Amino acid sequence: MSEELVKAIVEMREQDALQLTRDLLDGGSSPLDILDDCRAAMEVVGRRFETGEAFIPELILAGEMLKQISELIKPRLEAETVGEEKLGTVVLGTVEGDIHDIAKDIVGFMLDINGFKVIDLGVDVPPARFVEAVRESGAKIVALSGFLTLAYDPMKATVAALKEAGFADVKVMIGGGQIDDHICEYTGADAWGRDAMAAVNLARQWS
Amino acid sequence: MFVKPDNWDQLSPEEKKKIRLDYWESSEGLVFASPEAEARYRERIHRLRNAIDLNGTDRIISNPSVGSYALRRAGLTGYDMVYNYDKFFDPIMEFNNEFQPDLAINGFPYPGPVFDILGLQTYVWSGQRLSEEYDIQAVEGEYMMADEYADFIMDPSGFWLKTYLPRMCSALEPLRKMPDLPRISEIVDLGGALLPFGMPDVQEMLKKLMEAGNEAMRWISTMGKLGGALAAAGFPSLSSVFWKVPFDFLGDTLRGTKGIMTDMYRRPKDVLAACEAYVPILVSGITKACDAMGAPVAMAPLHKGADGFMSQEQFETFYWPTFKAVMLGLWEEGIVSFLFAEGGYNSRLETIAEMPKGSTVWWFDQTDMRRAKEALEGRACIQGNVPASLMTTGTVEQLRAYCEDLLEVFSGSAGFILANGAGVDKTTDEHVRTMIEIVRQ
């Protein structure tokens, strides 16, 4: 464990984090250990986000740092076996008619870094596509994103389509700018979340 | 057109504001549909003025933001909002006449044919990538690259003309060939500067601009006719000049969410300098537009400074200083800033209370209204904050209970307007009626 690397990521020192990664790799550190450091750092960033000490800029920049670190270690990673156990699979997407992706992408990143396999279906996803993805993957969790008030009905239709297809045991969470208890009840979703860490906590509860 | 008196420069912001409000309230040249309509209009606009002015009102104003619902209820779709704005007139007039709201309820048409002619890239819309139900949605993207900050800061107008607009609209690509206008001095410069206008692709672009301009005229005259008819029928409007906070211009329009959020760490000085470059452009442009329209108020939707989007320290460093500078610049001209705080603004309340008394109107979406009142009472008129979710899916009883609670919180307040937070596409007549009539009971 490189505490220096963890600290650099947590403190948003991008260039330091990248240089430390290069130094660690040159010094013979295992790429998997570096990934563990990234995870440890993201745990701190996630916690800070929950307690109101970190915000969207930090989540996005941390995502950017991790992407670059992954690129650096990738050539050496393939030599090692990666048999990482996932906590579960989440099918994620912005519902039909809505093309907003920023919040969905942050949720996807936070789920991924917290140990979930994420199947991101993108934006403007029809209910049938969610059903198909659940069928193919065996996922037990679906996360629906929507920014518009016009997303309420497609969310409801997606929940209904999943039930109709026999996936009553699949848990559905919803999130977006105008989502609250009323909309959770209206759509028939199992829960709603205000932000990306809420999504992670729900997924943990359901796994 | 609002004409400033000769002694304008000697007046205080409060005095300038009074002159602007007087002009707006007089509604010079407006021909009313009937004496009754005029009486209702005068009563309503005076009440609105008193709310903005924090003078106290005989009763609270209700202003449900349900323009889209008024259109959809009459069978119009998102497609109609983009292409068939000539269909707005009857449903909007019928809706206002039926519900008799305190302020005009109007839909917002988008000039779809203009988008088509120019090949707009920054939005998708009905009939193009969206189905008939939806109107328009923004496409997140980097329309200014990270290494272009210096170009923008040096010359925002030049950057807009030659770099941003060609990215915004595919048909405007030839704008890249435009000359550096400040270099035109001698006759020889003029000849050289005109050369691009002799090129086939530039000439083709100019034809498209003329075609788009004709469509824009059709669009504005349709809107103007409807706005005029609403006023003539007795419904005043707070409709005003539209602007955005410098940081949101950068974040929404130029750099995209991901770009601006990482820029705060990667190139903070560039972000601040770019925000500062915007301030004089906005103050001057908004003031001119308010003069031309006779509008005492200029409205900005607020995006990336909301709760959760950034820390308070980041807000006070990156978002607030130039936001405040624009509002103070407008206030110097007697113009009131009308801010729509989408999402929550709880953590910003103490900061925004710094603005001079009566210089702002705050429209809240998900902000705690008790805290908002505490922070801004006596300093700013407050509008809000019935949840869109409640208007769309709640029962009438739930809506009534929510409104009653708000009315109790703001009972005796000098300036409060009951409204929903985010705009609503789907609700029921009963919900709208409840919201309009509850303030009269």
CATH of the domain at A187: 3.40.50.280
* Domain-ending residue, one of A77, A99, A122: A77
The residues of A whose Cβ lies within 8 A of any Cβ of B are 12, 14, 53-57, 60-61, 64, 97-102, 148-150, 152-153, 177-180, 182-183, 185-186, 194-195
Q: Is this complex scored with an ipTM above 0.90?
A: yes
The C-alpha atoms of residue A74 and residue A69 are separated, in whole angstroms, by 8
**A134 domain-assigned:** yes
* B7 within 8 A of B351, measured Cβ to Cβ: no
Considering the domain architecture, whether residues A104 and A185 belong to the same structural domain is answered as: yes
% of chain B surpassing 90 pLDDT? 96
Q: What region, left, alpha or beta, does residue B127 occupy, with left being phi > 0 and alpha being psi -120 to 50 degrees? A: left
Considering the domain architecture, whether residues A93 and A182 belong to the same structural domain is answered as: yes
Query: For position A78, what pLDDT does the model report?
Result: 64
Q: Give yes or no for residue B211 having a pLDDT over 70.
A: yes
Considering the domain architecture, whether residues A58 and A94 belong to the same structural domain is answered as: no
Which residue, chain included where needed, has tokens 């779709």? Answer: B77
Q: Which residues of B261-293 are buried (b: 16+ CB within 10 A; e: fewer)?
A: bbbbbbeeebbbebbebbbeebbeebbebbbee
Considering the domain architecture, whether residues A193 and A157 belong to the same structural domain is answered as: yes
Mean of pLDDT over chain A = 94
Mean of pLDDT over chain B = 96
Query: For position B255, what pLDDT does the model report?
Result: 97
Considering the domain architecture, whether residues A71 and A95 belong to the same structural domain is answered as: no
Whether B423 and A179 lie within 8 Å, measured CB to CB: no
Q: Give yes or no for residue A148 having a pLDDT over 90.
A: no
Task: Find the radius of gyration of the CA atoms of chain A.
Answer: 18
Q: Give yes or no for residue A136 having a pLDDT over 80.
A: yes
CATH of the domain at A72: 1.10.1240.10
Q: How confident is the model at residue A85 (pLDDT cuts 50, 70, 90)?
A: confident
Considering the domain architecture, whether residues A200 and A143 belong to the same structural domain is answered as: yes
**A82 domain-assigned:** no
Of the candidate CATH numbers 3.20.20.210, 1.10.490.20, 3.60.15.10, 3.30.365.10, the domain formed by B8-75+91-109+216-440 belongs to: 3.20.20.210
Running DSSP on this structure, what letter comes out for residue B405?
H
Residue (of A198, A193, A177, A129) closest to A157 by Cα position? A129
Residue (of B276, B284, B357) closest to B319 by Cα position? B276
- A-chain CB neighbours of B264 within 8 Å are 57
Query: For position B38, what pLDDT does the model report?
Result: 98
Query: For position A95, what pLDDT does the model report?
Result: 97
List C-alpha distances in Å: B365 to A39, A196, B67, B392: 35, 21, 17, 15
pLDDT tens digits, one per residue of B316-342: 999 999 999 999 999 999 999 999 999
Find the residue in A nearest to B399 (Cα). A182
- What would the 3-class secondary structure string for B214-231 be? HHHHHHHHHHHHHHHHHH
Considering the domain architecture, whether residues A160 and A104 belong to the same structural domain is answered as: yes
Query: For position A77, what pLDDT does the model report?
Result: 73
- Where do the structural domains in chain B lie, given as residue ranges? 8-75+91-109+216-440
Report the pLDDT averaged over residues A27-51. Answer: 93
Considering the domain architecture, whether residues A96 and A188 belong to the same structural domain is answered as: yes
Which residue, chain included where needed, has tokens 């009269």? Answer: B440
Helices A31-50 and A3-10 cross at an angle (nearest 10°) of 40
- A-chain CB neighbours of B422 within 8 Å are 149, 177-178
Residue (of B169, B179, B170) closest to B199 by Cα position? B179
Q: How confident is the model at residue A1 (pLDDT cuts 50, 70, 90)?
A: confident
Residue (of B423, B440, B309) closest to B365 by Cα position? B423
Report the pLDDT averaged over residues B206-226. Answer: 96
Considering the domain architecture, whether residues A131 and A182 belong to the same structural domain is answered as: yes
Report the pLDDT averaged over residues B60-64. Answer: 97
List C-alpha distances in Å: B145 to B161, B254, B438: 15, 8, 50
Query: For position B112, what pLDDT does the model report?
Result: 97
Q: Give yes or no for residue A138 having a pLDDT over 80.
A: yes
Q: Give yes or no for residue A80 having a pLDDT over 60.
A: no
Best residue in A53, A105, A182, A195 to probe B by mutation, most B CBs within 10 Å? Answer: A182
Find the residue in B nearest to A179 (Cα). B389
Find the residue in B nearest to A150 (Cα). B425
**Domain of residue A97, residue span:** 88-205
The C-alpha atoms of residue A203 and residue A189 are separated, in whole angstroms, by 14
Considering the domain architecture, whether residues A50 and A122 belong to the same structural domain is answered as: no
Whether B262 and A61 lie within 8 Å, measured CB to CB: yes
Q: Give yes or no for residue A58 having a pLDDT over 70.
A: yes
Find the residue in A nearest to B124 (Cα). A99
Considering the domain architecture, whether residues A8 and A59 belong to the same structural domain is answered as: yes
Q: Which helix (H) or strand (E) holds B101?
A: none
Report the pLDDT averaged over residues B105-128. Answer: 96
In sequence order, which residues have a C-beta less than 8 Å from that of residue A161 and are 6 or more positions away?
A127, A128, A130, A131
Q: Using CA atoms in the order B207, B210, B216, B222, what is the torsion angle rounded to 10 degrees?
A: -120
Q: Give yes or no for residue A84 having a pLDDT over 80.
A: no
DSSP string, B191-252: HHHHGGGGSHHHHHHHHHHHHHHHHHHHHHHHHHHHHHHHHHTT------EE---HHHIIII
Domain total of chain A: 2
Query: For position A82, what pLDDT does the model report?
Result: 55
**A83 domain-assigned:** no
